[in-house]
Amino acid sequence: MKSYLSFAVVAALTIPALGAKPTASEFEAAAKQIVGAWRLEFTTPDDVERTPMVLVGRQHDKLVAWYIEKDKPQSFKKVRLEDDTLVLTIRPKQKKDTEVTLRARLQKDNVCVGEATYKSDDGDTGSWDFKGKRVTESDFDATEQWELNFVSPDDQEHEATVTVVAKDDQLYGWYSSKDFDIPALKFTQKDDKVVMSLNATTDEGVKVDVTFRGTIDGDQVEGEAEYNMEGDIGSFPFEGRRKS
């Protein structure tokens, strides 16, 4: 078995049974159970044991997911719900000529199981089983939350909660709002300066990169957010407070 299979991963989550086109309320209920971080365990056909992290998020009425092991998070190409199964598709960046399809279902609370299948462009195929467990705040060294407030350039008021966790001297951020549940691609803090970078998509399908740069003063933070919306560049002020 080729070693590139060691790079393929899957998110496995608890999902209520859904039809081919779930209603808004059905999607919202499913998203609440699906969104979050998951630690997977599996052995690929070439006997390589892997324990990657998969993050599942939400952008408006769509699910999104990222694979994290050692490198920068890689987005899954497709994320869809089929009845009570979450199906994910990815072409691992280490082996772009191979497509992996992942099907996951809940076994019990916060534990999932499933099967991953792959097919390379030259016709090589195979599969393996996996299991996973939801990652909770207790799995990290420290956790805190910040509530952000800002007015976007289109004069819309926004509120968001940023959850910051620490593990092995590394900080990670998770951004939650009415329309988004997504991980920060970058989160750093040095003394009283903090930087958080996000990559998202608007409800019209336009990609946007936003970097929040703030200064912390006790339980308060304020600063400027820079955005790039497919060439449309600008900034807006933001402020926030520590929730916990």
Residues 130 and 18 in one domain: yes
Report the domain count for the chain.
2
Q: Give the count of beta carbons closer than 10 Å to the beta carbon of residue 28.
A: 12
Residues 217 and 107 in one domain: no
Residues 180 and 211 in one domain: yes
Single out the residue in 74, 107, 134 at which a domain terminates. 134
Residues 142 and 129 in one domain: no
Instruction: Tell me how far apart the alpha carbons of residues 10 and 6 are, in angstroms, rounded to a whole number.
Output: 12
Residue 13 has pLDDT above 50, yes or no: no
Instruction: Tell me how far apart the alpha carbons of residues 181 and 61 are, in angstroms, rounded to a whole number.
Output: 11
Looking only at the bridges linking them, the beta strands covering 74-75 and 78-82 are unpaired
Residues 20 and 97 in one domain: yes
Single out the residue in 99, 134, 169 at which a domain terminates. 134
More confident: 228 or 26: 228
Residues 113 and 150 in one domain: no
Cα angle 11, 15, 20; round to 5: 105
Residue 18 has pLDDT above 80, yes or no: no
Residues 124 and 237 in one domain: no
Residues 174 and 152 in one domain: yes
Question: What is the CATH number for 201?
Answer: 2.40.128
Single out the residue in 134, 151, 172 at which a domain terminates. 134
Mean pLDDT highest for which of 93-97, 152-156, 224-228?
224-228
| Model pLDDT, residue 45 | 86
Residues 151 and 199 in one domain: yes
What average pLDDT does range 12-16 have in this prediction? 38
Cα–Cα nearest to 199, from 25, 47, 24, 75: 75
Residues 219 and 155 in one domain: yes
What digits encode the pLDDT tens for the residues 204-238?
889 999 999 999 999 999 999 999 999 999 999 99
Residues 14 and 81 in one domain: yes
Q: Give the count of beta carbons closer than 10 Å to the beta carbon of residue 55.
A: 21
Residue 17 has pLDDT above 50, yes or no: no
Cα angle 180, 102, 96; round to 5: 90
| Model pLDDT, residue 229 | 93
What digits encode the pLDDT tens for the residues 62-80?
899 998 877 678 899 999 8
Residue 36 has pLDDT above 90, yes or no: no
Q: Which domain holds residue 67?
A: 3-134
Residue 5 has phi, psi (to 5 degrees) of -65, -20
In the chain, the percentage of residues whose pLDDT exceeds 90 is 57
| Model pLDDT, residue 14 | 36
What digits encode the pLDDT tens for the residues 169-183?
889 999 999 999 999
In the chain, the percentage of residues whose pLDDT exceeds 70 is 88
Residue 130 has pLDDT above 60, yes or no: yes
Residues 34 and 110 in one domain: yes
Residue 19 has pLDDT above 60, yes or no: no
